[in-house]
Amino acid sequence: METWDIYDKHRVKKQKQLCRGEAMDSEDYHLVVHVCIFNKKGDMLIQKRQSFKEGWPNLWDLTSGGSAIECEMSQQAMKRELFEEIGLVYNFEAMRPHITINFERGFDDYYLLELEVDTKQLVLQQEEVQAVKWASHAEIKDMMANQQFVPYYEEILDYLFEGRHAFGCIRV
């Protein structure tokens, strides 16, 4: 069973952990991470969630993501999730997230990378991922419109594509 560290609303770690699925107190939050990998053409590597996954089964999703487990920093969680889900090794230790999005139960750190990845060389975690492929911004928006992609805010998707080369929210 996965155990999470619990944080307060200011992202200060409490001396408390919970197992995935346990009820959280109203003042408890946990850490989630995502990575979006783009190639030089500007396409994003996406994964198709397994049909038996709880939450958005059979839908396409961002490259990789998941919850940080006990004692993991954001970068460690992202490294583990990326390797577990698609077999890709990347060291996030020197990075900080491009953006953090607060959601009802926690904090979601997003890392944006540009890497050339051969999808045939990836090792997919059968419990979570059924397929991977490269997709353009327009293709992903079409998938969203056809309810084939996890329903992220379109504006967030736009930002991920446009903001992948810089930090912040000002065009330079």
CA 115 to chain CA centroid, nearest Å: 16
Query: What residue numbers bound the domain in which 115 lies?
Result: 3-162
Rounded mean pLDDT, 106-129: 97
Q: Tell me the pLDDT tens digit for each residue of 44-60.
A: 999 999 999 999 999 99
168 lies in a domain?
Answer: no
- Name every residue whose Cβ is closer than 8 Å to that of residue 60 and which is 6 or more positions away in sequence: 46, 47, 48, 49, 135, 140, 143, 148, 149, 150
Residues forming beta bridges with residue 114, ordered by sequence position:
38
Three-state secondary structure string covering 79-114: HHHHHHHHCCCCCCCCCCCCEEEEECCEEEEEEEEE
Q: Tell me the pLDDT tens digit for each residue of 31-89.
A: 999 999 999 999 999 999 999 999 999 999 999 999 999 999 999 999 999 999 999 99
Residues forming beta bridges with residue 7, ordered by sequence position:
13, 29
- Nearest CA to 167 out of 108, 119, 62, 97 is that of 97
81 lies in a domain?
Answer: yes
171 lies in a domain?
Answer: no
Here the CATH number for the domain that contains residue 35 is: 3.90.79.10
The amino acid at residue 75 is: Q
172 lies in a domain?
Answer: no
114 lies in a domain?
Answer: yes
Task: Look at the pTM and tell me if it is higher than 0.75.
Answer: yes
Check: CB of residue 31 under 8 Å from CB of residue 68. yes
Percent of the chain past pLDDT 70, that is, above it, reads 100
Token pair of 73 as six digits: 């920093």
pLDDT on residue 103: 96
Count the domains in the chain: 1
- The CA–CA distances, whole Å, from 138 to 4, 85, 148 equal 36, 25, 13
